Amino acid sequence: MLMNDLSHTLDLAVIGGGASGFFTALRYAEMAAGKHVAIFEKSSHFLQKVRISGGGRCNVTHACFDPAELSKHYPRGARELHAAFYHWQPQDTIEWFARYGVTLKAEPDGRMFPVTDSSATIIDCFLERARQHKIPLLVNHALIGIKRLENDGGFELTFDHHAEPITARAVCIATGSLKDSPLLNQLKRLEQTIEPLVPSLFAFNVTDPRIAGLAGLSHPQVAIRREGSQAARQGPLLITHRGFSGPAVLRLSAWEARAMAETKHHFPFVIDWLPEMDMESLKARFADIRQNQGAKLVRNTPIPPIPRRLWERIVSCCGIEDPMTWGQLSKPATQSLLEGLKSARFEANGKTTNKDEFVTCGGISRQTINFKTMESRKVPGLYFTGECIDIDGITGGFNFQAAWTTAHLAASAIARR
Positions that interact with ligand FAD (CB under 6 A): 15-21, 40-43, 48-49, 52-54, 58-59, 141-143, 174-176, 181, 183, 356-359, 386-387, 397-400, 403
Tell me the residue number closest to ligand FAD, measured at CB. Answer: 18
Nearer to ligand FAD, 48 or 328 (CB): 48
Q: How far apart are CB 29 and ligand FAD at their closest, in Å?
A: 17
Cα(191)–Cα(201) distance, integer angstroms: 29
Q: How far apart are CB 47 and ligand FAD at their closest, in Å?
A: 7
Q: How far apart are CB 63 and ligand FAD at their closest, in Å?
A: 13
Q: What are phi and psi of 161, to 5 degrees?
A: 65, 15
Nearer to ligand FAD, 48 or 349 (CB): 48
Q: How far apart are CB 180 and ligand FAD at their closest, in Å?
A: 10
Q: How far apart are CB 34 and ligand FAD at their closest, in Å?
A: 25
Nearer to ligand FAD, 111 or 299 (CB): 111
Nearer to ligand FAD, 251 or 342 (CB): 251
Cα(153)–Cα(328) distance, integer angstroms: 84
Q: How far apart are CB 285 and ligand FAD at their closest, in Å?
A: 39
Write the DSSP string, 245-309. ESHHHHHHHHHTHHHHHHTTTEEEEEEES-TTS-HHHHHHHHHHHHHHHTTSBGGG-PPTTS-HH
Nearer to ligand FAD, 184 or 214 (CB): 184
Nearer to ligand FAD, 142 or 337 (CB): 142
Q: How far apart are CB 9 and ligand FAD at their closest, in Å?
A: 19
Nearer to ligand FAD, 37 or 143 (CB): 143
Nearer to ligand FAD, 141 or 265 (CB): 141
Exposure string for 220-241, b = 16+ CB within 10 A, e = fewer: ebbbbbbeeeeebbbbbbbbbe
Nearest in space to 392 (alpha carbons), one of 117, 143, 196, 193: 196
SS (H, E, C) 211-232: CCCCCCCEEEEEEEEECCCCCC
Q: How far apart are CB 3 and ligand FAD at their closest, in Å?
A: 17
190, 378 contact by CB (below 8 A):
yes
SS3 84: helix
202 membership: H or E segment, kind and range: strand 202-205
294, 269 contact by CB (below 8 A):
no
Nearer to ligand FAD, 94 or 143 (CB): 143
172 membership: H or E segment, kind and range: strand 162-173
Q: What are phi and psi of 320, to 5 degrees?
A: -100, 110
Angle between helices 119-132 and 19-31 (to 10 degrees): 40
Q: How far apart are CB 351 and ligand FAD at their closest, in Å?
A: 14
List Cβ neighbours of 74 (8 Å cut-off, separation of 6 or more): 81, 391, 392, 393, 394, 398, 402
Q: Are strands 10-15 and 162-173 parallel, antiparallel or unpaired?
A: parallel
